[in-house]
Amino acid sequence: MTADRPYDIVLFGATGFAGGLTAEYLAGHADPGTRWALAGRNQATLTEVRDRVAAVNPACADLPLLHADTADTASIEEIAGAARVVITTVGPYAQHGEPLVAACARAGTDYVDLAGEPTFIDRMYLKYHEEATRSGARIVHACGFDSIPADLGVYFTVKQLPEDVPLHVEGFLRVHGDVSGGTLHSAIGIFADVPGMMSAERERRRVEGRPAGRRVRISRRPAPKTRVGDGWTLPLPVLDPQIVARSAAALDRYGPDFCYGHYLAVRRLAGAVGLAAGAGALFTLAQLPPARALLLRFRAPGEGPSAERRARNWFSLTFAGEGGGRRVVTEVAGGDPGYTETARMLGESALCLAHDDLPETAGQVTTAAAMGDALIDRLVKAGLTFRVLDAG
């Protein structure tokens, strides 16, 4: 039991860009009585973050500050043992993430992060899923823009469709956003090790197996015409469809034969061509060490978009779902995807694990399987949109 631990939530990485926004979010929105603390490797910058947070909510002026450095295993074990839920924004996760996942799996501590790195997530599954299942820890990766809108959006869509029939869902993302230094460094790390990503995915498939008596697929067919408005679509090879498929494998409600396709939607053909060329160039440059070093200089860790820029950013993810003779169109939408909304989604995920009445789960689990309706309720109250556009 973790109820008698000193903190409900410890936030590790508060001195970074996404971590600082998450600290401000918790200061303004944590459920009354939540016992929480900030953790990091640098006491002086942690104190500055606490001052910022106290400007949002003066009651946070005495927030405890805990020392934790991923290079010091004992300090990581200490925060995992002191909290019911640990939030980490210490990335790139492939570089810094493993010690905390290991410590939480061992201590039975719930864990949420912002990892959009498939290799890291698959490796953590292979190494710690069983131990976390035994200890009761819920290890929930991708609790930001990667992959909550897709995961909970598909969950929401499936619930509008009939039960026990084959279901087909497609998601079309429209987005206007920016990247921080931490996101750039993590993305280049993914592009630079595609063979590592494929081998971790293969190994995971071998160990995990398929859901008994049901079929779950990610659509590999060429990008369809957008079925939810005008424009062009591109395949979007990000983490989201894998997370959706894991939720579908975990939850019978997704039916006996579930298929999901994930696409980027753009209004003009020139936009589609430009994006495809840009992604191809970035991928190619990331393979060459000198070009990779240059790319990494584009944005340093700790840097991110200003509040003014974030206020202009937005996203919408529209889903077309069909099955059992019904068709539905739904939407998840919000403001600045990568940071303002990500801090909100991450903060609410931790609060949900700490305070809500949830289905019994353990091990590496998705947001839909671990939190589902309770997290959607929280996000809607916090200002995100989940709605049915067309009920067929």
Binding mask 270-309 for ligand NAP (x = CB under 6 A): -------------------------------xx-x-----
Reference 57, options 32, 82, 83; nearest CA is 32
Measure the CA–CA gap between 57 and 55, rounded to whole angstroms.
Answer: 6
Residue 271 has which token pair?
């936009």
| Size of the residue set binding ligand NAP (CB under 6 A) | 34
Is 91 an interacting residue with respect to ligand NAP (CB under 6 A)? Answer: yes
Residue of the chain from 5, 41, 67, 327 that contacts ligand NAP (CB under 6 A): 41
Question: Which residues fall within 8 angstroms of residue 218, CB to CB, at 6 or more apart?
Answer: 241, 242, 244, 245, 259, 260, 261, 262
**Are the C-beta atoms of 266 and 232 separated by less than 8 Å?**
yes
Is 109 an interacting residue with respect to ligand NAP (CB under 6 A)? Answer: no
Closer to ligand NAP by CB, 98 or 377: give it: 98
Residue 115 has which token pair?
């990892």
Question: Which residues fall within 8 angstroms of residue 233, CB to CB, at 6 or more apart?
Answer: 172, 223, 224, 225, 226, 263, 264, 265, 266, 272
Closer to ligand NAP by CB, 91 or 171: give it: 91
Binding mask 67-86 for ligand NAP (x = CB under 6 A): --xxx---------------
User: Least Å distance between CB 300 and ligand NAP?
Assistant: 8
User: Least Å distance between CB 65 and ligand NAP?
Assistant: 12
Residue of the chain from 2, 10, 16, 151 that contacts ligand NAP (CB under 6 A): 16
Residues 331-350 touching ligand NAP, rule: CB under 6 A, are 338, 342
Residue 261 has which token pair?
């396709």
Scanning 15-23, 29-37, 241-249, 269-277 for contacts with ligand NAP by CB under 6 A, the matching segment is 15-23
Reference 351, options 5, 34, 23, 15; nearest CA is 34
Residue of the chain from 9, 10, 80, 114 that contacts ligand NAP (CB under 6 A): 114
Binding mask 200-239 for ligand NAP (x = CB under 6 A): ----------------------------------------
Is 90 an interacting residue with respect to ligand NAP (CB under 6 A)? Answer: yes
Establish how many alpha carbons lie within 13 A of residue 354's alpha carbon, considering only the half-sphere containing its beta carbon: 29
φ, ψ at 325 (rounded to 5°) = 85, 5
**Are the C-beta atoms of 16 and 49 separated by less than 8 Å?**
no
DSSP code, position 144: B
Reference 15, options 79, 65, 81; nearest CA is 65
Q: Give the three-state DSSP class for 346.
A: helix
User: Least Å distance between CB 352 and ligand NAP?
Assistant: 17
Question: Which residues fall within 8 angstroms of residue 272, CB to CB, at 6 or more apart?
Answer: 232, 233, 234, 266
Scanning 88-96, 170-178, 217-225, 287-295 for contacts with ligand NAP by CB under 6 A, the matching segment is 88-96
Can you give the binding site for ligand NAP, defined by CB under 6 A?
13, 15-19, 40-42, 45, 69-71, 89-93, 96, 114, 116, 144-146, 180-183, 186, 301-302, 304, 338, 342
